[in-house]
Every structure is written in structure tokens, then in C-alpha cells.
Amino acid sequence: MGPCPRQRNYYYEQVTEPTSALSVRDIDVSSTDFWRRPWKERDEAFATLRREQPIGHYEEPVLEGSEIEFPKGDGFYALTRHRDVAEATRHPEVFLSGHGTVTMFDLAPEMVEYFSGMISTDNPKHARLRRIVSNAFSSKNIQRVEESIERVADEVIERARREGSGDFVLDIAAPYPLEIICTMMGVPKSEYATVLRCSNTIVSNGDPEYIPAGNDPVVAFLESAMTLTGIMEELGRFRIDQPIDDVTSALVNAEVESEKLTQQELASFFVLLVIAGSETTRTALAHALHAFGQFPDQQRRLVEDFPALAKTAADEIVRWASPVTFTRRTLASDYTISGFDLKTGENVVMFYNSANRDEEVFADPFSFDVGRTPNDHFGFGAPGPHFCLGAHLARREIMVMWRELLSRTPNIRATGAPSQLASNFINGVKRLDYSF
């Protein structure tokens, strides 16, 4: 069937032609207050930046509520256009990841290991880690993971229908990818709740819902990372001597050109999997349900012809959600991008959420279209060596969950407004009321 007419609602009309009350000088993408603004206002602000100041300098953010001081740097340049983000990621020899990629400021080396591991490394270390990890994902392991996706989707949906809380995030979006990751790594079910709690804390960016008043957010982040690391280090040691058919066994025993993962590297990879692998799907699923409420014609299209639209729908959901808002790079040498001169040692923050709404690349970027093609989004990162290893897994998880939800409960819908996570890094949804 051909494309359906796009529903034109308040959100679509306002954001297609930005009417942001914020001028360029009022937009501060390093401010916590900016990231507390509703999604529509943030989208409008980034549209203004793409049009009037696509590369701009900002001071480093202040992490509220923490007594731990980080070295004060010289801030960063924000890249907001699709073509500039693509240009930077195509040159990893200039735009380095090793100083940390998941914050707008430098982290201490031990925090880089905890929070970003492989994604905060450059060659040759990055190539070594990626070779070892890729080698562990054999066709047999991949097949086993894909089989677990089908099983976990069935279990999560049926559990939600029997005893659901009415919160889509709590019932479906959060447990589904987390259980897949834990199953894949061989983490016992007794640890699932701990893994979820730690994941929520790490991605919270200090959101008071996850870090109560009076608690230092940096300390909470570190404690959660140490907990996850402890789980995986213990499991990894056990799997060296008693391997089974799980990815942890494959990882700890994988050897490429006489190289193996260290215990710290294995633990860091698990933290990365839990955060990047779980949060991407979790955020995408929640944003999708919200989008279907704004564009109900797109839900009807999927119900009527899911097999034909499954792949394009998965990519549009990821583009729309832009689960990971940014990554950062540090320049190894002077470089000119779109006529703008950047100097050695300066930092750039690449805003994927802005690139994914770039009017130069996407027709009607503020319209949710499950049949969108082409769709050169950066929801899994931009081209280059750091493109997400789990992109295929995330797409598969999204397709399977929506296939099962729409075939069993075609009238599923959000019944309230989503509760936004107050984070500049994860475009998260904390709660979203729904009904079948």
C-alpha cells in the first residue's frame, strides 16, 4: 500500500516551522534547565541553531548536587547539522574518543572505564577490543540471542496483560531489552532488579526520581557502575572454568591473535551493553507508543501491513526517539569543518538528536513516517569505527516487540503524557500510562 496522508496536528504544525521563544543567545545546550524543557521546545531550539548557529561554543555543564569537582576545561563546540556530525565521525584520526565520549566534560580515567569502555577508546586499542568482541558473536550465538528475543517478548507481553501496572515503561519498555541482555550474558534472574536499578541510576543524569535529594549523583553513578562491574567480574571468572552457551563464556574465552579481554574490559563491556544496548531499545519503544498517539494513522499502517513496513518502521522509531542525544570528541589536530576552524585539543559535542531532525536531510523531519525512505539517521551513531555494534540487535528487538504488540493488542495506546527524563545524554521516558 502507498503512503498514507500524514496527520497534521498541533505538534507537527508548530515544530515544522519553529516558533521557539528562545533566540540563539538564550539557548544553552550545556544547561540542565535546557534539558528539562519539553521535547517540542528543545526541537525548536535545535532547529534555530541549525539555521542560525550550527557550530557554537558552550561552557561545560555543572553537575548539580555533587561535591565532587571535575577539572574545569574550555567547554565545547556543538555540532548540530547532519553533515557536520557525519564529517567528524568519518575522521576518527582527528576526532578522538579516548578522552571520554558520554559527558560534555573530561572524566577521570577510572570513570571512563566504568561508564563508556570501548566507545571511549581509539585505535589501536579500539580495533583490538572490537575484534575480540565481534569474534565472540558467532552465528550460533547470534541465533541463540534472536531466539531469546522472541521468547522474552512473549513473556513480557503476557505478564503485562495479566498483571500490568498501567505504565508502559515499567511493564514492557524497560524489562524487555534488559532481560534480553541479561539472558545473552548469562546473568541470573536474581540480579535483574539490581541491574535495572543500577542502569536507571547511571543514565539518570541526577534526575531526583532516581537519585533522592541529599545523595551525591557522582557517588551514586560510581556505586552503580561498581555493582554492575562486580556482577560481571564474578560471572566472568566463573565462566572461564565452567563455560556454557552464553556470550559471557564466549567473551572470556575468545582469543584473537593471542589477545583476550581482561576482567576489567569484560566488566566495562557489560556496563556498556546494559546502558547502550538496553536503554536504546527501552527509549525507542516508549517514544514509539507516544508517537503512535500523535500520529495514529502510522499505527494503523503497521497493523494493516506490518511485514512490509517492519524494517523502515524500526529505523523511523529510532530516528524519532534519538535515544542517545550526543557523543563527544577531542581534536588531535587542527581541522576545518563547514568553513569553521577548530583547534587541536578542543572538544566537539555531536548532537544526534539535532542531526536526526535536519531539514537538509529529512523530508518533513517532524513527521513520524513508518515508511520513511531513505532514512540516514544517526540513532545508532554516525558512520565510522564507533557505529553501534548492537544496531542489528536493537532493530530486531523493536520489530519483534511491535509485531507482537500490534498483532495481539492492535488498539494499544498511550493514555497520558510521557514523563521526561531530565538528562542531556539519554532522551529517556520515565513513565507512560497506557492501555491495551
Quote the CA–CA distance of 222 and 216 in Å, as a whole number: 10
Quote the CA–CA distance of 9 and 397 in Å, as a whole number: 29
C-alpha cell at 278: 538496553
Any domain includes 2: no
Q: What's phi and psi for 342, nearest 5 deg?
A: -110, 145
Q: ∠ CA(405), CA(195), CA(263), 5° rounding? A: 125
Q: Is 182 helix (H, G, I), strand (E, B) or coil?
A: helix
- Contact by Cβ (8 Å): 283, 321: yes
To the question of pTM greater than 0.85 for the whole model, the response is yes
pLDDT value, residue 259: 73
Any domain includes 5: no
Any domain includes 181: yes
Any domain includes 155: yes
Any domain includes 372: yes
Sorted by sequence, the CB contacts under 8 Å of residue 57 that are 6+ apart come out as 75, 76, 77, 78
CATH number at residue 378: 1.10.630.10
pLDDT value, residue 11: 35
pLDDT value, residue 5: 32
Whats the size of the chain, residue-wise?
Answer: 436
Any domain includes 248: yes
Any domain includes 151: yes
Quote the CA–CA distance of 59 and 417 in Å, as a whole number: 32
pLDDT value, residue 297: 97
Q: Which structural domain, as residue segments, surrounds residue 380?
A: 10-435
- Contact by Cβ (8 Å): 280, 324: yes
- Contact by Cβ (8 Å): 136, 144: no
- Contact by Cβ (8 Å): 284, 321: yes
Amino acid at residue number 250: A
Q: Is 423 helix (H, G, I), strand (E, B) or coil?
A: coil
C-alpha cell at 396: 530486531
Quote the CA–CA distance of 138 and 140 in Å, as a whole number: 5
Any domain includes 429: yes
- Contact by Cβ (8 Å): 156, 400: no
Work out whether strand 347-351 and strand 76-79 pair parallel, antiparallel, or are unpaired: parallel
What total number of domains does the chain contain? 1
Residue of 100, 101, 97, 105 lying closest to 122 (CA atoms): 97
> Cα 329 vs. chain centroid, distance in angstroms?
17
Identify the sign of the CA torsion 211, 213, 218, 219: negative
C-alpha cell at 140: 550460533
* pLDDT, tens digit only, all 436 positions of the chain: 333 333 333 333 333 444 557 899 999 999 989 999 999 999 999 999 999 999 999 998 877 767 777 777 899 999 999 999 999 999 999 999 988 888 888 776 666 666 667 788 888 888 888 887 777 666 677 778 888 999 999 999 999 999 999 999 999 999 999 999 898 888 899 999 999 999 899 888 888 888 887 888 888 888 888 898 888 888 888 888 888 877 888 888 777 667 777 777 777 777 777 777 788 899 999 999 999 999 999 999 999 999 999 999 999 999 999 999 999 999 999 999 999 999 999 999 999 999 999 999 999 999 999 999 999 999 999 988 888 878 888 999 999 999 999 999 999 999 999 999 989 999 999 999 999 9
**CA distances (Å), origin 242, targets 237, 253, 261, 266, 291:** 9, 11, 17, 16, 46
The secondary element (H helix, E strand) that includes residue 313 is: helix 296-321
**CA distances (Å), origin 390, targets 179, 385, 387:** 15, 13, 9
Output the DSSP codes for 377-415. Answer: --BTB-SSTTS-TTHHHHHHHHHHHHHHHHHH-TT-EE-
Quote the CA–CA distance of 379 and 207 in Å, as a whole number: 23
